[in-house]
Amino acid sequence: MTLRFDVLIVGAGPAGLAAAQAAASHGARVGLLDAQARLGGQVWRHDVRHPAPGAARDAINALKQVTFLGQHQVIAAEPQRLLVETPQGAEHLSYATLILATGARELLLPFPGWTLPGVTGAGGLQALVKQAWPIAGKRVVVAGTGPLLLAAAATLRKHGAHLLGIVEQAPQSAVHAFARQLLHWPARAVQAVGLRARLAGVPYRFGSIVRHAYGEQQLGAIEIEDAHGKQRLDCDHLALGYGLLPNTELAQLLGCALDYGTPEQASAHPHVIVDRLLRTSVADVYAAGEACGIGGLAAARIEGAIAGHAAAGAEAAASALLPRRAKERRFASLLAKHFALDPRLHQLATPQTIICRCEDVTLSALDGFTDARAAKLATRCGMGACQGRICGSALAELGRFPRSGSRPPLFPARLSSLVQATPSLSDEISRSST
Ligand SMILES: Cc1cc2nc3c(=O)[nH]c(=O)nc-3n(C[C@H](O)[C@H](O)[C@H](O)COP(=O)(O)OP(=O)(O)OC[C@H]3O[C@@H](n4cnc5c(N)ncnc54)[C@H](O)[C@@H]3O)c2cc1C
């Protein structure tokens, strides 16, 4: 049986929740699906020990007349129809209008030792501890760039981690200039002051990068470099995040146009192109939140509401929110400007450094390849569980080659799910695997 919705939303983070509420308020039959079991997305991910923030509870409680489909992962798509995998099997969902609220993931940059157990993404470790990963008393360094480091560090401390420091790659001048600009976004300024207060006593280093992680079976120490030289620091966990990347794979699969920046300011990490009402280049497909470019929680919520109203045909309600969107998007460009990556980070991996951790492919094994598909076929780089989301994005960031286009299935899927694909999808899937 194929479930059918007027408005189907992929992603139940802040953008998807706002979209669902807005679309349902006009009487549309709304479906909201997510690969995760619970509502909330990344920032409001369920925490087994601590209650959800008030804003998350309000957004979830506000959902009325919305069908939530948890543990539903979209693995393939064709016009007006998605193939989703669930723990029970696979099913088709059809829609009149689709909203992509697929969010973002962390950018991880390879360096010697980055695959040791104990080295994770900053948001990744945050997600693990929310699911009761034992962190109490563990010595943790949080490193990378941007405000997400503070948010992750605050969660880790709340769960009992012993924070040795936050290692920010951006120079002090850039971070201070960013902080001064926050005065134009009072709610953000209050949030930032609150986070710093929760992290009182934790050293915050600027212009510093982690060059090396050491350990036999497990992380034991890291090497940090700043303007004064190198320093070795013993630790149990290193939580790293070099910013966020929009999840555009499903949009690409549907044929939505992506923005790679201008020739002068090209980006290795595209986002979905949308018009003022968040319509993509494909008819009846909208996008909202981080998939349209990294903008943070407030932008995601406003964009979700705009897309939800517009998808339900309520253009006036959507248009009324446009000034708020413009303000939040200005904040996004502020982030990009002040936390631009230090070019030294592109030089950390050595020829022996593993780039594709799923398939154990080193950087030198990729020498001579100029496109991701050729490299994948010859070395298996990107063929593992993450399907190139980590190594492909890192290689694009390092300037090796862009990520390859999106092909079904979007995630590793069971054979029994793939056989449920329609004939046209089956053809595409079998073409992808050759
Ligand atoms: C690991 C991580 C941790 C973060 N922690 C914080 C934080 O502590 N504080 C903060 O202010 N910001 C944090 N952020 C940033 C935060 O994600 C955004 O500001 C905000 O949550 C974006 O909302 P969104 O709805 O656009 O996307 P998200 O919240 O990312 O939600 C997207 C949802 O789409 C689902 N999805 C994607 N593709 C599919 C598919 N094919 N099938 C089914 N479901 C799919 C995902 O499972 C996810 O739940 C974090 C980001 C990441 C990546």
265 strand-pairing partners: none
In a domain, 427, yes or no: no
Determine how many CB atoms are found less than 10 A away from the CB of residue 227.
9
Per the prediction, the chain carries an average pLDDT of 94
Q: Are residues 231 and 332 in the same domain?
A: no
pLDDT value at residue 404: 79
The atom of ligand 1 lying closest to the CA of 297 is: 19
Q: Are residues 81 and 137 in the same domain?
A: no
pLDDT value at residue 433: 57
Q: Are residues 297 and 318 in the same domain?
A: yes
In a domain, 184, yes or no: yes
pLDDT value at residue 422: 67
pLDDT digits (tens, 9 = 90+) for 291-334: 999 999 999 999 999 999 999 999 999 999 999 999 999 988 88
Q: How far is the CA of 265 from the centre of ligand 1 (A)?
A: 26
- Look at residue 74 and tell me whether its pLDDT is greater than 60: yes
Q: Are residues 142 and 157 in the same domain?
A: yes
Whether omega for the bond prior to residue 409 falls within 30 degrees of 0, making it cis, is yes
Q: Are residues 297 and 229 in the same domain?
A: no
Distance of alpha carbon 33 from alpha carbon 302, whole angstroms: 19
pLDDT digits (tens, 9 = 90+) for 225-278: 999 999 999 999 999 999 999 999 999 999 999 999 877 777 889 999 999 999
* Residue that finishes a domain, picked among 223, 241, 259: 241
- Our CA angle for 409, 40, 158, nearest 5°, is 120
Report the pLDDT averaged over residues 358-374: 94
Q: Which residues contact 60 (CB under 8 A, 6 or more apart)?
A: 17, 39, 40, 52
Q: Which residue did the predictor score with more confidence, 228 or 1?
A: 228
pLDDT digits (tens, 9 = 90+) for 377-428: 999 999 999 999 999 999 999 999 888 788 899 999 998 888 877 666 677 7
Ligand 1 close to Cβ of residue 11 (< 6 A): yes
Q: Sorting pLDDT into bands at 50, 70 and 90, what band is 193? A: very high
The atom of ligand 1 lying closest to the CA of 14 is: 25
Q: Are residues 170 and 235 in the same domain?
A: yes
- Look at residue 355 and tell me whether its pLDDT is greater than 60: yes
Q: Are residues 56 and 140 in the same domain?
A: no
Report the pLDDT averaged over residues 175-185: 92
Q: How far is the CA of 154 from the centre of ligand 1 (A)?
A: 18
In a domain, 404, yes or no: no
- Look at residue 283 and tell me whether its pLDDT is greater than 70: yes
Q: Are residues 252 and 215 in the same domain?
A: no
Counted domains in the chain: 3
Determine how many CB atoms are found less than 10 A away from the CB of residue 131.
11
Q: How far is the CA of 105 from the centre of ligand 1 (A)?
A: 7
CATH number, domain at 90?
A: 3.50.50.60
pLDDT digits (tens, 9 = 90+) for 97-114: 999 999 999 999 999 999
- Token pair in block for residue 261: 């920046």
- Look at residue 23 and tell me whether its pLDDT is greater than 70: yes
In a domain, 273, yes or no: yes
Of 3, 222, 225, 14, the residue nearest 93 (C-alpha): 3
In a domain, 41, yes or no: yes
Q: Which of 9, 39, 42 to mutate to test the pocket of ligand 1 (most atoms within 8 A of CB)?
A: 42
Distance of alpha carbon 221 from alpha carbon 171, whole angstroms: 24
- Our CA angle for 271, 78, 64, nearest 5°, is 75
| Report field, pTM of the whole predicted structure over 0.85 | yes
Domain residue limits at 120: 110-241
- Our CA angle for 239, 245, 246, nearest 5°, is 140
* Residue that finishes a domain, picked among 221, 241, 261: 241
